[in-house]
Amino acid sequence: MPGRPAPFRQLPGDSAPPARAFWTQADDGVTLRLAHWPAATDSLGTVLLFPGRTEYIEKYSGIASELTVAGYDVLAIDWRGQGLSDRLLPDVRLGHVGQFADYQRDVVEVIVAATELALPRPWHLLAHSMGGCIGLAALRQDLPVASAAFSAPMWGISLRPMPHGLAVGMTYLAGRLGRGARLAPGSGGGTLGTYVLDESFSANLLTEDADEWCRMVRQAAAWPDMTLGGASFDWVGKALNECLRLSRLPSPDIPAVVSLGSRERIVSAAAIRDRVSRWPSASLLTVEGARHEVMMCTPDRRAAFLSAALDLFQSAP
């Protein structure tokens, strides 16, 4: 069975049912935190929730609550280097990974935990941003899910106005000069060390919903040890290389829905459209007015995506 209990935090007044969090360890010794929410009714299956960069399990408590009410168990993870999982550098504020393939070690632990918990099948993937990049790579390695729902997947990174080749060259040079573990300019990490505390609501690229923004600010202020700042040169370079590698692979033979906000400015909208155009069993849901985080935006836009995801889960073979 999964390892020893881990903390799961809630803000004062949060009425959502808490998850049961626990520790596990990847095969390279990195300690990871996972959490499970049981279905509120007879379970229709299990959703494997892959968060994005900088995120932590508690951020998805509201989404997990909606999924459990709809009849699904939910299993989520803090990726290595973020949340309460092991940080990988002495500067714990810096997002970093040794190799992008290391995230697949974390995916293995999700599958091991889901198996040991005997979570109901079929299993489905729900992935946001960087989690969408990790998720697509896992699908190419036969992740045992019946369907996949992606929110603004990181299948490319928006680098405007910097050309892609220049960005890759900068990260390579930084590595050659022994600066790969230093902060990459433009990747975040301002005065207070995390995006939602450093950016104003009016200028933020994540959500147009003031209530959701305030919730993220309250969490970041209350739990600074779970937040993350900018990314290292190494992370940026490896992420760009992984997006390029995935772009050259054929699409998985699995039904999928992919959401893209019309105001997306963090990941590459062109890369998302290109992938969906080459994925016969995938559909693109363009969410008008949404920014990067459709699961954290206005209730109508969030509902449109969750409805599409639930329809997919229920119809998947």
Overall pTM surpassing 0.85 (yes/no): yes
How many domains is the chain partitioned into structurally? 1
The low-confidence residues of the chain, meaning pLDDT below 70, are 1, 160-177, 186-192
Question: Is 59 within 8 Å of 131 (Cβ atoms)?
Answer: no
Full residue range of the structural domain in which residue 67 is found: 20-315
Strand extents, DSSP E, 115-187? 123-128, 147-151
13 found inside a domain: no
9 found inside a domain: no
Tell me the CA distances in angstroms from 124 to 51, 131, 254, one per residue in order: 14, 14, 10
244-258, pLDDT tens digit by residue?
A: 999 999 999 999 999
169 torsion bin: left (phi>0), alpha (psi -120 to 50), beta (else): alpha
252 found inside a domain: yes
48-63, pLDDT tens digit by residue?
A: 999 999 999 999 999 9
* Domain harbouring 267, CATH code: 3.40.50.1820
Rounded Cα distance, 88 and 30, in Å: 9
14 found inside a domain: no
96 found inside a domain: yes
119 found inside a domain: yes
12 found inside a domain: no
4 found inside a domain: no
